[in-house]
Amino acid sequence: MPRVLEPTRGRADTFPAGASTPAGASTRRQPVLGANRTVLLSALLVVAVAALCAVAAAPSSARVPVGVAVLVGLAAAAVIAVLAIRQADGTARLVARLAALDALTERRAAGLAQLADDTLPKIVAHLRDGVSAEEAMAGGPSPTDPAEQRILRTLAEEVGRGERMRAAAMAACANAAGRVQALATSMLADLRDMEDRHSEEVLGDLLRMDHSVSQTGRLADSIAVLTGARSGRRWTKPIVMESILRGALGRISAYQRVRLHSTSTAAVAGYAAEGVMHALAELMDNATSFSPPSEEVHVYVEEVQAGLVVTIEDGGLVMGPAALRRAERAVSAASLDLTTLSGTRLGLAVVGVLARKYGLTVSFRPSSRGGTGVIVIIPRQLITQPRPDGAPLPGVHAAAAPGAVAGARGGRQAAPEQPDEPAALPSRAAAHPPGTPEPLPKRGRGETLAGAARAAALATSLDGPPAGADGRPAAPTVSPGARFGAFQQSRARVRSGETGPTGAAGQQPAGATDSDATGATGGAEAINATDSGEAAP
């Protein structure tokens, strides 16, 4: 009992007296009240009996005044007892009511706590998942109190509306970014085409436009990354590190201030190449925009066990410890928090998203050049090594049969193509340690046929002016000579009386030697091909 009553007394004055008293509480208090009354009445009875005894025991002369006094006293005591009993009754009722109110308050507090800690988070989580307000209300636990229900409904509707607005805005941004990305990609392809077609006079202008479009593309990529859309484009082949760096470089405005130092021949897997490029572009952009225009930004690439380490060092402002921490947080936070975006500086947030997506590790430190250094580690699983025969130039390694390209562009170029092939072969072989197997040969089975095709192209172009246009002895005739290298070789041997083909070749200048070697293998096929095709000269 004291446990219940003690706090009640403390708070008694804060409660209105008219609050309803629950029945349970009053029945619980009733026996106590009755006991008090009984005690009081029996005490009064005892006092009355004692007083009567006293009156009876008193001498008769004093009996009347004593009797009167005792009666008055008894009456007063009775009045007091009645008053006390009523007082006690009221107090007990108040105490009971206070206890009931206390219980009610406790229940309300518990209900509110549940609303705040359990119901609301659940409903908000549902709403964040895209469920409508009504469904979320129906799905989650519902409070019994009507006021709480109203609060919950209003809140759910507001949060739901906000969530829908956010989703719509994100989708609109992502969609717009995707369109700009597609436009930029096709414009870049068009521009590259024009750069090939048009002359030097417009090249400068085309390059400037190319640069602007590249930056536009990067901006669209950034928005796409932040809105969770896919990155700009996929590369279907691994991209060598030099191209990755230059691809990143081409997307920032002050690209001429960046110096690349890379001897790495590693390539980044096609699916990750765009992301890596974009992240590096953002970091390079930061480095150039936060360093004075006179300072250069240096980019180093180093191959380590964990993968590739790209270091971007500027000589600009040193980031303070707080700025460093903020930057680290931006690139390593568990997930993108759009509320931390400042509106103008999206770069690090984009880097953070890309780093999480591709497992890049980005860290900042003071640079040895006086500014800030950024270290990006590209994990090993994204790295592939190109084929060991070198030729890391992306545009070149595709040209396995350069003669075919040259032949397509004009017969004259095909002519000097021929002597180079054997000349290149020994050097390529020498580049390999003798133990390792020779990589897939450049001169495949179709090579001689391609040679025959070139011969055909030559035959058609022989009538044209290119033959002697530059004053040289007609260049295209070289190739037929090479075609019939075997014939020529045997002729030379007969004429000079040499014993071996190498001796005969030794008398020829270098170009002839090469073509002879080629001709010895491909001569017969070439003859057949030219016989069946156009007439040989």
Partner 1 sequence: MTRGHIDRENPDRLYTITGGRSRADADVFDLVTLVIAECDPSPGMQSEHAAILRFCRSARAVVEIAAHLRLPISVVRILLCDLLDAGRIIVRQPARSAPRHSPVELPYAHPELLREVLVGLRRL
State the residue for tokens 């403390």: 10
157 vs 124, 163, 294, CA distance in Å?
10, 10, 55
By the rule CB under 8 A, 192 interacts with partner 1: yes
Per rule CB under 8 A, count of chain residues that contact partner 1: 80
| Window 224 to 253, contacts with partner 1 (CB under 8 A) | 233, 235-236, 239-240, 242-244, 246-247, 249-250
Task: Please identify, among the stretches 1-9, 111-119, 121-129, 210-218, the one whose residues bind partner 1 according to the rule CB under 8 A.
Answer: 210-218
Q: Is 22 exposed, middle or buried (0-12, 13-18, 19+ CB in 10 A)?
A: middle
By the rule CB under 8 A, 189 interacts with partner 1: yes
Supply the minimum distance, in Å, between the C-beta of residue 160 and partner 1: 42
9 vs 409, beta carbon nearer partner 1? 409
Supply the minimum distance, in Å, between the C-beta of residue 222 and partner 1: 17
Separation of alpha carbons 25 and 100, rounded Å: 7
HSE-CB for 251 with a 13 A CA cutoff:
30
By the rule CB under 8 A, 387 interacts with partner 1: no
| Window 59 to 98, contacts with partner 1 (CB under 8 A) | none
| Window 449 to 478, contacts with partner 1 (CB under 8 A) | 470-475, 477-478
Task: Please identify, among the stretches 15-23, 107-115, 154-162, 206-214, the one whose residues bind partner 1 according to the rule CB under 8 A.
Answer: 206-214
Q: Which two tokens stand for residue 399?
A: 């040209």
124 vs 527, beta carbon nearer partner 1? 527
Separation of alpha carbons 164 and 156, rounded Å: 12
HSE-CB for 374 with a 13 A CA cutoff:
28
Task: Please identify, among the stretches 40-48, 95-103, 171-179, 483-491, the one whose residues bind partner 1 according to the rule CB under 8 A.
Answer: 483-491
73 vs 410, beta carbon nearer partner 1? 410
370 vs 466, beta carbon nearer partner 1? 466
SS3 call for 309: strand
Q: Which of 74, 124, 405, 449 binds partner 1 (CB under 8 A)?
A: 405
| Window 2 to 31, contacts with partner 1 (CB under 8 A) | none
By the rule CB under 8 A, 416 interacts with partner 1: yes
Greatest pairwise CA separation for the chain in angstroms: 186
Supply the minimum distance, in Å, between the C-beta of residue 508 and partner 1: 6
Contact indicator for 268, 378 with CB cutoff of 8 Å: yes
By the rule CB under 8 A, 111 interacts with partner 1: no
Instruction: For residue 362, give the amino acid letter.
Output: V
By the rule CB under 8 A, 193 interacts with partner 1: yes
By the rule CB under 8 A, 515 interacts with partner 1: yes
Supply the minimum distance, in Å, between the C-beta of residue 529 and partner 1: 14
Separation of alpha carbons 116 and 104, rounded Å: 18
Q: What values do phi and psi take at 455, rounded to 5? A: -60, -40
By the rule CB under 8 A, 396 interacts with partner 1: yes
Q: Which of 181, 231, 262, 518 binds partner 1 (CB under 8 A)?
A: 262
Supply the minimum distance, in Å, between the C-beta of residue 123 and partner 1: 47
State the residue for tokens 């707080």: 322
127 vs 240, beta carbon nearer partner 1? 240
Q: E strand or H helix at 311, and its extent?
A: strand 307-313
Supply the minimum distance, in Å, between the C-beta of residue 157 and partner 1: 47
229 vs 244, beta carbon nearer partner 1? 244
Q: Is 527 exposed, middle or buried (0-12, 13-18, 19+ CB in 10 A)?
A: middle
DSSP letter for each residue of 339-377: GG--SS--HHHHHHHHHHHHT-EEEEEE-TTSSEEEEEE
By the rule CB under 8 A, 429 interacts with partner 1: no
Angle, CA 376 vertex, CA 374 and CA 380 arms, to 5°: 165
357 vs 491, beta carbon nearer partner 1? 491
